[in-house]
Amino acid sequence: LQSEYSLWTRDVEATILPTCRELNIAFVAYAPLGRGFLTGAIQKANDLSPNDWRHTFPRFQEEILDKNRSIVDTISAIAAQHKA
């Protein structure tokens, strides 16, 4: 089974992952970097090309993107502490 799973999207932890374990089904994380959001490369909606499908996701809407950028800043700080 393949599904989005990252620090950003963790809803599979409640039911999907336990079911996969129980039934011995392999799970492959899709978009572990939050569809690119957690890389820090996307600072504003204009960083995406006009026809990029990620414009349809709320996390990539300009007003929400501004608020969520602090998440990337926190992750970046933790990574720097661990030299990662």
> What are the backbone angles phi and psi of residue 40, rounded to the nearest 5°?
85, -5
The reported pTM is 0.71
Residue 6, both tokens: 């990252």
Q: How far apart are CA 82 and CA 12, in angstroms?
A: 27
Chain segment 34-61, per-residue pLDDT in tens: 898 888 888 888 999 999 999 998 888 8
Residue 55, both tokens: 């414009």
Q: For the chain, what are the domain ranges?
A: 1-32, 36-84
Chain segment 71-83, per-residue pLDDT in tens: 889 988 999 999 9
Could you tell me which residues are beta bridge partners of residue 4? Answer: 30
Q: How far apart are CA 18 and CA 35, in angstroms?
A: 24
